[in-house]
Amino acid sequence: MPDGTATSNLYRPKLATTLKEGYGLGDLRGDAMAGLTVAILALPLSMAIAVASGVSPDRGLYTAIVGGFLVSALGGSRYQIGGPAGAFIVLVSATVAKFGIEGLILTVLLSGAMLALVGLLRLGSLIRHIPHAVTVGFTAGIAVTILASQIKDLAGLKLAGPEPGPVIPKLAALGQALATLNPAALAVGVGVAAVILGLRRLKPSLPGMLIAVVAATLAATFLHLPVETIGSRFGGIPQGLPAPQLPHLSWSLVVAVLPAALSFTLLGGLESLLSAKVADSMTGRVHRSNMELVAQGLANVGSALFGGIAVTGTIARTAANIRAGARSPVAGMLHAVFILVFMLVAAPLASYVPLAALAGLLVVVAWNMAERREFASLMTNWRAGAVLLATFGLTVAHDLMAGIIAGCGLATLFWAASRVHRKLKRP
């Protein structure tokens, strides 16, 4: 099996390479099964991420369909699965709260153009040089923030006013609302998390997330549980994709959302290349980093045109794609097609899904994101630990960009100090 090292910097989609090598019926069968497997995983997850991001669940499905298809069709990784990601929940929800849906769509569009430009300028390798401690720190910080954001729906709490964005004020507001706790919602959310974790341990081959959400939906419907659902909050989801359209453009809005677009670009590049690197380690292949960034950029532009949210490579879905026997990028394209078929055929059923069930699902996502063992391992080295804690603390207390800047800045200072120290020790 060629490892692709010699062509890793080419601007050629892996789909073109795969088709040139030869693609038969057996490959199509393998890709179809893998695509269906990933679609089953992505279906509830895409809706849950959208709801947690402060937008309607259909926008998560648009992202998985349009963005997921373009990432696989144009990308530089043979196995990458694109779609909405938990890491973006904090950024998307903050952008929606500040600029509204139109501002969010413009932000996604701009970040897509920036990502494509980063790839065209061959800057993909620079993103991969961000210190490991910084990556673990902001990932753990995002996990904590996601967990805090799900408490309201998980427990069915009713706040007196809007839910604060920052973690500390959010926890204070949630604490004041504890008297409104809904036992039925809490049971549904905790039950979903328990079923997912239990199936992962006992039967990892089963689609635990879908099984848990379907079971919770059936229980809430037939037992007439007093819980909020997708239908009661959003009125359900449409049966198909909307017509593509440009977001509202104005110079003042472009300038206002530019910092958010830069954050989207940085996180999108990091997540996508990290996911592609995981796929490489599982398969022995080498992805084309710059082509991957161009594809991620175009996928975000496409998602924005259809009203979707941010697209990035997703580690869990990419790994599931590989384990399910994917042969080529066709598997990722088919995963998007299968999700579209669900929207066309079964969209009305989504109205019955309890929001507490989606919150329980995202609690598991946050738990998996935290990289607890890696966090503990890095803490054994004081320099890495300092970088890690600076990144983690500022990501939770302020925002992602502040955490990354602080972590990279501190890592650079340590590197410079070590260089000076080595020079002083020379005779």
- For residue 285, give the amino acid letter: R
Closest C-alpha among 128, 130, 184, 194 to residue 360: 194
Tokens 């650079």 belong to: 412
Q: Residue 219 has what pLDDT? A: 95
Q: Residue 299 has what pLDDT? A: 97
* Alpha-helix runs per DSSP H in 203-314: 208-222, 230-234, 251-283, 289-305
Closest C-alpha among 249, 262, 258, 316 to residue 84: 316
Buried b (16+ CB within 10 A) or exposed e, 314-333: bbbbbbbbbebebbbbbbbb
407 exposed, middle or buried (CB, 10 Å; 0-12, 13-18, 19+)? buried
Strands (E), 115-250: none
Compute CA 66 distance to the chain's CA centroid, rounded to the nearest angstrom.
15
Both tokens of 269, joined, read 């590049």
pTM listed for this prediction: 0.86
CA distance 281 to 248: 42
DSSP 327-373: -STHHHHHHHHHHHHHHHHHGGGGGG-BHHHHHHHHHHHHHHHT-HH
Q: Consecutive 10-residue runs of the chain (427 residues): their mean pLDDT?
A: 56 90 91 92 91 92 96 94 90 92 96 95 75 86 88 90 82 91 95 94 87 94 93 87 90 93 91 86 87 95 96 89 92 96 90 93 87 90 92 86 87 86 70
CA distance 396 to 283: 34
